[in-house]
Amino acid sequence: MSDRAYENGVSRGHGESWNSPDAVADPSSRTSTGTRHCEPVAVGTPDPGVPARIAAERAEDAVRATGHGAWVDFFRDLHANPELSMREHRTAGRLAESLQSSGLDVSEGVGETGVVGILRNGDGPVVMLRGDMDALPIREETDLAYRSEASGTLPSGGQVPVMHACGHDMHVTCLAATADALAEARDGWSGTLLVVGQPGEETFQGAKAMLGDGLFTRFPKPDVALGQHVMPAPVGHVLHRAATIMAATASIDVTIHGRGGHGSQPSSCVDPVTTAAYFVTRVQAVVSRETPSFDPVVVTTGMFHAGTKANIIPDEAVVTLNVRAMTDASLDRALTAIRRIADAECAAAGSPRPPTVAVFANGPATVNDGSLVEGLSAAHTSLAGTTVTQLPTPLMGSEDFSEYGLPGTRYDGDPVPYALWMWGGADGDRYPAFRLQDLQSGTSEIPGNHTTRFELAAEPAIAVGNRLLTSAALSYLS
Ligand SMILES: [Zn+2]
Ligand SMILES: [Zn+2]
């Protein structure tokens, strides 16, 4: 473990925000606009049972007692063997094996490939720790000795290269290491630890699948759910936000139907490629012309598929978009506009029938519980080698961690209060000019999540991630 790595790039004091105080107090981001998904949880939030500094000290002792050298090998093995969403069989097996050897009761196959580990240790709250396990269809281009050469099969049947380009290998490693540390230190706390290895985060399937398979009925329902995500910042940086931290999202397939024919005779056809091109261009106006200036929405066209040959006008074109917004209402407004524009472009082109539209990978915003974040920020600030910053505005990334806080169709009873934080996983020595504000403006030189060169400094990132998760759990396990 390199202490220098913690110091590099750490330029701000504990608990600061990187922007002005005005930005922190942004009322529109602090109170959501009353949609069902985005109400902050106001009732039944457990306060930390253990003072922050004591939780941090206990975590340091627990983590030190277990060492972390073996976890670097564990991480490298996961990194070299990534698996696509809902197909994390090997990864789940490795996590289950580790939890078992730490003394937890382990159940596999929860929500297809999910793993649940339970450590009952007397009276006290049920604390859930969640780590996601899936990788992405990306070809790795790092120079790591343990880089992925793996491939996988998409649901469509296509073969693709696979890479842990979102750090879920790091999340699984910290989950296993924290469970081990807490099991080792069980004389010092009381309560029930619920460890959740979740499949399919990238496709927004996993949390729903695990809840649908009885995560909160077959196993103890948590009093609090905690999660962390690694980010492209030097190790030592920790980001919290006592409100919405990540966006709501949905993806949408739009199939534009035309009438194909010979490329030399467009007048006898209805060209779906031209229509789809107009659609892709016009749909940008959803943000620029239809969305209020202070309501951030993103519309990205990620896929455009049509045709097989230059001189054939195809029968259809398929455009797939991703939409992000801070509330369900804003997301719904954007999706409605996209449907309207698709209908209208097809009508304008004389399409033989209206477009076929399918929404998928739909997930709510991640709205942290304010009082949980307050307690966790204090515990994390007390740890050696960390700089805790309060995010002034939410991130446009999305997570299905929020599903655990939403009763109704997912589970009965009160909502489970939750908190998700981010921590830096990059080698600070390589990026001495890094500034935290560059993360949100998109100008950071550190390769980001979902890129071919996303790379984590394994040893220090595990050490800090393990401390963060362990101290967070020990804040509630009295
Ligand atoms: Zn991701
Ligand atoms: Zn991720």
How many Å lie between the centroid of ligand 2 and the Cα of residue 206?
12
Q: Whole-angstrom Cα distance, residue 331 to residue 329?
A: 5
Question: Residue 385 — φ and ψ, nearest 5°?
Answer: 80, 15
Q: Structure pTM?
A: 0.86
- Give the number of whichever ligand sits closest to the CA of residue 231: 2
pLDDT tens for 412-462 read: 899 999 999 999 999 999 999 999 888 878 889 999 999 999 999 999 999
Compute the distance between CA of residue 381 and CA of residue 53 in angstroms, rounded to an integer.
8
78: its two tokens: 């996961």
Give 399 Cα–ligand 1 centroid separation in angstroms. Answer: 8
**Cα→Cα distances 228→151, 155, 156, Å:** 27, 28, 31
Residues identified as active-site: 132, 202
Give the residue carrying structure tokens 């749909």: 283
Please state, in angstroms and rounded to a whole number, the distance separating the CA atoms of residues 240 and 370. 10
**pLDDT for the residue numbered 68:** 61
Task: Look at residue 44 in the predicted model and tell me its pLDDT.
Answer: 61
Asked if residues 171 and 105 have their Cβ atoms less than 8 Å apart, the reply is no
User: Ligand 1 centre and the CA of 135: distance in Å?
Assistant: 8
By the CB criterion, residues less than 5 angstroms from ion ligand 2 are 166
Flag residues of the chain having pLDDT under 50. 1-43
pLDDT at 408: 82
**Which ligand does the CA of 170 lie closest to?**
2
CB 279 within 8 A of CB 254: yes
What residues are neighbours of ligand 1 (ion), with CB under 5 Å? 166
What pLDDT is stored for residue 63 in this prediction?
Answer: 84
- 174/74 Cα distance (integer angstroms): 10
Q: In the prediction, which pLDDT does 51 show?
A: 81
**Taking a C-beta distance cutoff of 8 angstroms, is the pair 32, 370 a contact?**
no
> Within a 10 A sphere around the Cβ of 307, how many other Cβ atoms?
15
φ/ψ region of 119 (left if φ > 0, alpha if ψ in -120 to 50, else beta) reads beta
Q: Report DSSP state, residue 191.
A: E
User: How would you label 64-90 residue by residue, b for 16+ Cβ within 10 Å and e otherwise?
Assistant: eebebeebbebbbebbbbbbbbbbbeb
Contact 226, 418 (CB under 8 A): yes
CATH number of this structure's domain 248-362: 3.30.70.360
The owner of tokens 């931290």 is 245
> Measured in angstroms, how far is the CA atom of residue 167 from the centroid of ligand 2?
6
User: Which residues, at least 6 apart from 281, have a Cβ–Cβ distance to it below 8 Å?
Assistant: none
**What's the 136 CA to ligand 2 centre distance in angstroms?**
9
Q: Is the separation of the CB atoms in 166 and 205 below 8 Å?
A: no
Q: What residues does each domain of the chain span?
A: 3-245+365-476, 248-362
Proximal ligand: closest to the CA of 451: 1
Are 12 and 381 in contact by the 8 Å Cβ rule? The answer is: no
HSE of 105 in the Cβ direction (CA atoms, 13 Å)? 9
Q: Is the CATH number 3.90.870.10 carried by domain 3-245+365-476?
A: no
